[in-house]
């Protein structure tokens, strides 16, 4: 069984490895609610992944296969980046970017790097400095979405190094550290691979997406939207999936009642990645405080799922709706785009990264 699982993991990894951005944005195929509009912010960002905002308006974008970190600037404020710079290159899967006190932090599998005072040196970027280099070196789920929390600590996930396995406490978790890499502390366990998390305004509660395992069929298990209520909380992997399905191998002797269930099941194999709370004023009031989730899309489902951007509305901690914001990234089971991350801008518009088309889009609303 473990040999089969290992082989399946290798197949899955080969499917997840980045591919050249062969597609081009086809915005005429996208469907948004009435009053919403989408435009290209930049189509010069190969393998675009996580988005972070600088204090002076710079849009930073990490990448997967390109090994580069990009800085996008809109100097004439027309809603489109007029300059795209490569500020770091030759890095190992630098998916994650996080801006803090003038510095840009970058994830590179086993290391966390920092580019100091970056917005004042976009044309002559500094050499990345190592902040922390004791993360696992495995590349399977080794790319990392990173973000600073309201406690000014850097939160870093460590995905499971497999499709399904019991990797022990060194993997399948979320940890945090000080900006200088000190005081590393585990936050939560039983997380197969989170590639998106954010904190709710007011309560400062941490919410995150998590990708369900593969090879249990088209319709199970579901990806998850979760909320952390206390340090050390366990969300079930590899023993329990989606809160109510015991794993056929690793679930023996366990009960799903012993693990925290998801707040919302997002759907099987939708590949839920970046998520942010929308606190802007441009979108209708019904979006204020809602969660926006980028769903990258399935790779091994008979009928594709995901390939969309979704809105989750909350009343307290309860989900009241889960509905599309953007669809149309695939037609007739063929995808031209795959959403990865979402990032609200100060003016209330929303950026969406697409690693297949190598683009970043900007969503706006006019009544």
Express each pLDDT in 7-34 by its tens digit.
444 434 433 444 343 467 899 999 999 9
> Does residue 18 form part of some domain?
no
Nearest partner of 306 among 344, 274, 260, judged by Cα: 274
Q: How many domains does the chain have?
A: 1
Copy the structure tokens of residue 58.
């710079």
Cβ neighbors of 93 (< 8 A, separation 6 or more) are 64, 65, 67, 107, 108, 109, 139, 142, 143
Q: Higher confidence at residue 23 or residue 248? A: 248
pLDDT value for 47: 97
Q: How far is CA 134 from CA 46, 110, 112, 178, 238, in A?
A: 28, 6, 9, 14, 24
> Does residue 64 form part of some domain?
yes
Question: What average pLDDT does the segment 84-104 reach?
Answer: 98
> What are 276's strand-pairing partners?
292
> Does residue 56 form part of some domain?
yes
Question: What average pLDDT does the segment 341-366 reach?
Answer: 98
* pLDDT tier for residue 4 given thresholds of 50, 70 and 90: very low
Instruction: State yes or no: pLDDT of 3 exceeds 70.
Output: no
Copy the structure tokens of residue 208.
């995150």
Instruction: State yes or no: pLDDT of 353 exceeds 50.
Output: yes
SS3 content of the chain, % helix, strand, coil (to 5): 5, 40, 55
Instruction: State yes or no: pLDDT of 162 exceeds 80.
Output: yes
Copy the structure tokens of residue 319.
């989900």
Q: Helix (H, G, I), strand (E, B), or coil: what is residue 170?
A: coil
pLDDT value for 18: 41
CATH number for the domain harbouring residue 194: 2.120.10.30
Residues of the domain holding 142 = 35-365
Global confidence as pTM: 0.94
For residue 358, count other CB atoms closer than 10 A to its CB: 23
> Does residue 16 form part of some domain?
no
Question: What average pLDDT does the segment 266-271 reach?
Answer: 98
Residues of the chain above pLDDT 90, percent? 92
Instruction: State yes or no: pLDDT of 366 exceeds 70.
Output: yes
- Quote the CA–CA distance of 37 and 52 in Å, as a whole number: 22
Q: How crowded is the C-beta side of 245, counted as CA atoms within 13 Å?
A: 17
Q: Are 96 and 35 in contact (CB under 8 A)?
A: no
> Does residue 6 form part of some domain?
no
Q: How far is CA 81 from CA 26, 74, 282, 329, 331, in A?
A: 18, 4, 20, 22, 28
> Does residue 11 form part of some domain?
no
> Does residue 326 form part of some domain?
yes
pLDDT value for 11: 39
Alpha helices in the chain, H assignment, sequence order:
2-16
Instruction: State yes or no: pLDDT of 298 exceeds 50.
Output: yes
For residue 325, count other CB atoms closer than 10 A to its CB: 25
User: Average pLDDT, whole number, for the chain?
Assistant: 94
pLDDT value for 19: 39
User: What tens digit of pLDDT does each residue of 46-78 get?
Assistant: 999 999 999 999 999 999 988 999 999 999 999
Copy the structure tokens of residue 126.
């500094």
Q: Are 226 and 260 in contact (CB under 8 A)?
A: yes
Q: Residue 238, preceding bond cis, omega within 30 degrees?
A: yes
> Does residue 21 form part of some domain?
no
Label the pairing between strands 185-189 and 233-234.
parallel
Question: What average pLDDT does the segment 280-289 reach?
Answer: 98
- Quote the CA–CA distance of 48 and 273 in Å, as a whole number: 13
């Amino acid at each position: 069984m473990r040999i089969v699982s290992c082989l399946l993991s290798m197949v899955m990894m080969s499917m997840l490895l980045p591919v050249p951005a062969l597609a081009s944005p086809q915005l005429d195929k996208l469907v948004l609610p009435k009053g919403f509009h989408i435009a290209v912010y930049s189509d010069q960002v190969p393998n675009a992944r996580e988005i972070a905002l600088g204090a002076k308006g710079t849009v930073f974008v990490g990448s997967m296969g390109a090994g580069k970190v990009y800085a996008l600037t809109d100097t004439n404020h027309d809603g489109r980046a007029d300059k795209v710079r490569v500020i770091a290159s030759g890095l190992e899967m630098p998916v994650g970017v996080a801006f803090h006190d003038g510095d840009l932090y970058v994830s590179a599998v086993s290391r966390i790097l920092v580019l100091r005072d970056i917005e004042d040196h976009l044309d002559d970027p500094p050499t990345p400095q190592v902040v922390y280099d004791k993360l696992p070196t495995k590349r399977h789920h080794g790319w990392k979405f990173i973000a600073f929390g309201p406690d000014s600590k850097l939160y870093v996930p460590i995905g499971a190094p497999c499709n399904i396995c019991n990797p022990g406490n060194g993997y399948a978790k979320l940890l945090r550290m000080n900006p200088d890499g000190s005081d590393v502390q585990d936050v939560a366990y039983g997380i197969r691979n989170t590639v998106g998390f954010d904190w709710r305004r007011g309560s400062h509660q941490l919410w995150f997406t998590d990708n369900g395992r593969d090879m249990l069929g088209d319709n199970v298990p579901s990806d998850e939207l979760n909320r952390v209520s206390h340090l050390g909380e366990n969300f079930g992997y590899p023993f329990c999936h989606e809160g109510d399905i015991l794993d056929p191998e690793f679930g023996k002797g366990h009960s799903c009642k012993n693990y925290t269930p998801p707040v919302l099941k997002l759907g099987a194999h939708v590949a839920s990645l970046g998520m942010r709370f929308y606190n802007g004023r441009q979108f209708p009031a019904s979006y204020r405080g809602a969660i926006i989730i980028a769903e990258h899309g399935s790779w091994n489902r008979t009928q594709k799922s995901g390939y969309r951007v979704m809105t989750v509305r909350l009343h307290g901690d309860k989900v009241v709706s889960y509905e599309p914001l953007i669809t149309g990234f695939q037609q007739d089971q063929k995808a031209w785009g795959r959403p990865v991350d979402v990032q609200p801008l100060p003016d209330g518009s929303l950026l969406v990264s697409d690693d297949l088309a190598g683009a970043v889009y900007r969503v706006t609303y006019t009544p």
